[in-house]
Amino acid sequence: MTMRAPAARHFNIAGPCDPRRHYMLPSAPQLPGVRELIEMDCYFVLYAPQQTGKTTAVDALASDLTAEGDIAALSFSCELAKVFSDDIAATETILLDSLRRAADLSGSPEEMLPPDPWPEEQAGTRFGEALSEWCRRCPRRVVLFLDDIDTLHGTSLISILSKLRHGHDARHSGLAFPASVVLCGLRDLRDYKVASGGDPARFSPADSFDVFADSLRLGDFTAGQIAELYDQHTQETCQEFTKDAVDRVFELPQGQPWLVNALADEITFGMGVCGAITPAQVDEAKERLIRERATHLDALRGRLYEPRVERVIRAIMEGTRFRARTLPSTMTSPTFVI
């Protein structure tokens, strides 16, 4: 098959977006309420299913907040520590190493960087003391985004959340600590109780979770945002997505960001379409993605077999009733039909 010559940028279907290489939208419209909570020095949760642009959005927001001059904002991934579920010392070491690496790559002035080395503290207190020391030295309010925090589980997750809770409360007594902390991942707040070994049915405010002011879901693209994203491709290549094609893309995945990009990538690159793009080509791209079992779709298919999800899907298919509390938070997004 003849492929189109690649444009300077392309539709991203793997990992965070890079504005130099990928078509992408501003992060603010996908983050309603986030800035307001940060301005109020709140701790909160930002969640969404896989491949919806969480990392791209929080990285961009952290850069924007830092550039504005009053905040030192940093986003870093917790994923490398996921194998140390019950080793608190190892988890703290990996998280602090990841935090420093992200800070070094951020290009922030030296006075805003965390201490090197981190202060030596006993296991179980090191993470909290390290954040406190960094905030004591930093001339700006520190805002911290813990991306992939829900890859942690067990006692390590409990320990980290407990340190954040202690620091949150102790700020009022003069402790230097991040002004705002955002937990970013796949889970809504209630699901953190499950990951830490608790029972969601007995979710109590008297635990490490009560300081988190809200749980916000990352927004999907609107039809207008899809048109804006696709217009970037048109401007660079002169290849137009017709209005009917854009409407069809919105209709199929209801704005789910990965699928919006995957359909466009399949059309412009995989299918090598030349000329204006039509709804029929969108439908063909949908069928190709389903047949190829693209990685993200395969991952979603696997979730259908999780007990909580299976109960909901089975009830829908059988037309029976189910209790609302069994609805998993990760099912709040419209799902591509597979």
Question: 3-state class of 72 per DSSP?
Answer: strand
Reported as a single tens digit per residue, the pLDDT across 227-262 is 999 999 999 999 999 999 999 999 998 999 999 999
Domain residues of the chain, as ranges? 28-217, 297-331
Across the range 290-309, mean pLDDT stands at 66
**Mean per-residue pLDDT for 120-129?**
93
pLDDT for 326: 44
Closest-CA residue to 140 (of 180, 173, 168, 87) = 180
Q: What is the mean pLDDT of the chain?
A: 84
331 CB burial (10 A radius; 0-12, 13-18, 19+): middle
**Tens-place pLDDT, residues 30-43:** 888 999 999 999 99
Q: Got the DSSP string for 53-70?
A: SHHHHHHHHHHHHHHTSS
Arithmetic mean of pLDDT, 265-293: 92
Please give the share of the chain, as a percent, with pLDDT higher than 90: 57
204 or 248: which carries more pLDDT confidence?
248
Dump strand ranges (E) for 30-101: 43-47, 71-77
pTM: 0.78
Domain 28-217 has CATH 3.40.50.1000: no
